[in-house]
Amino acid sequence: MTKKVTLVTLIALIFFLGLNVTKSNAMMMSKAKMLKIEMFFMHHSLGFPYIFYKFHPGPHWILMHAKSFNLNSSQIKKEKMLTMGMMHNTVKGVMILKKALKEYKMNAMQNNPSISKLLRDVKAVGNAETYLGYEMIPFHIKGYRVLYPSQQSLYHRLAKRNWMKKMQMMHKQMMKKIHMMH
């Protein structure tokens, strides 16, 4: 299990740090797995992408805009460390939630299930989802605090622009789907 966690964490770091992941078919499959983890997170993080992220994109996003922010080497190092910690916690949280969901489903399928087991399972699922909803917040805020005041001002402008572009893209996709239905 720990080898699997380490492998998934490493793959997540490679993917999110923007390193070249197209060199082999094995890495491409890993990228697909990472996309699944990301989608799972988006659906089980209490609205994190839509409620918090739009105002506070995290250290990975800051690294993606390193040139715009004119980050120095110390800031880049700090943002990378925050990204690695965040990714490790996210992968760990996704695995815990998947395990809790599996246990809940297994116990729920029993002909005469134990009420106490089911209640324990539901609490475990809720705790795991809550963890995914809050575990990234400190990394995002700390990533922001690495920036100097002038960089923080730029951060807010870029974050707002980034969110507006995402909303426009989602609107276009929705309109395209509606058009395809008619």
Q: How far apart are CA 125 and CA 107, in angstroms?
A: 13
Whole-number pLDDT of residue 29: 54
Written in H, E and C, the secondary structure of 18-60 is: CCCCCCCHHHHHHHHHHHHHHHHHHHCCCCHHHHCCCCCCCHH
Q: In degrees to the nearest 10, what's the CA dihedral of 153, 158, 160, 165?
A: 170
47: left (phi over 0), alpha (psi -120 to 50) or beta: left
Whole-number pLDDT of residue 15: 43
Share of the chain above pLDDT 90, in %: 50
Q: How far apart are CA 33 and CA 12, in angstroms?
A: 9
Q: What is the mean pLDDT of the chain?
A: 80
Q: Look at the block and give the residue holding tokens 């992941």.
A: 21
Closest CA to 137 of 66, 76, 86: 86
User: What is the number of other CB atoms lying within 10 angstroms of the CB of residue 168?
Assistant: 10
2 pLDDT above the threshold of 60: no
4 pLDDT above the threshold of 60: no
In contact, 66 and 147? CB cutoff 8 Å: no
Q: How would residue 182 be classed by pLDDT, with cut points 50, 70 and 90?
A: low
Q: Which two tokens stand for residue 180?
A: 């395809």
Closest CA to 33 of 44, 18, 21: 21
Tell me the mean pLDDT in the region 47-55.
Answer: 73
Whole-number pLDDT of residue 177: 63
- pLDDT tens per residue, range 22-46: 333 444 457 777 777 777 777 777 7
Q: How would residue 170 be classed by pLDDT, with cut points 50, 70 and 90?
A: low
Tell me the mean pLDDT in the region 104-131.
Answer: 95
Q: How far apart are CA 34 and CA 28, in angstroms?
A: 10
pTM: 0.68
71, amino acid identity: L
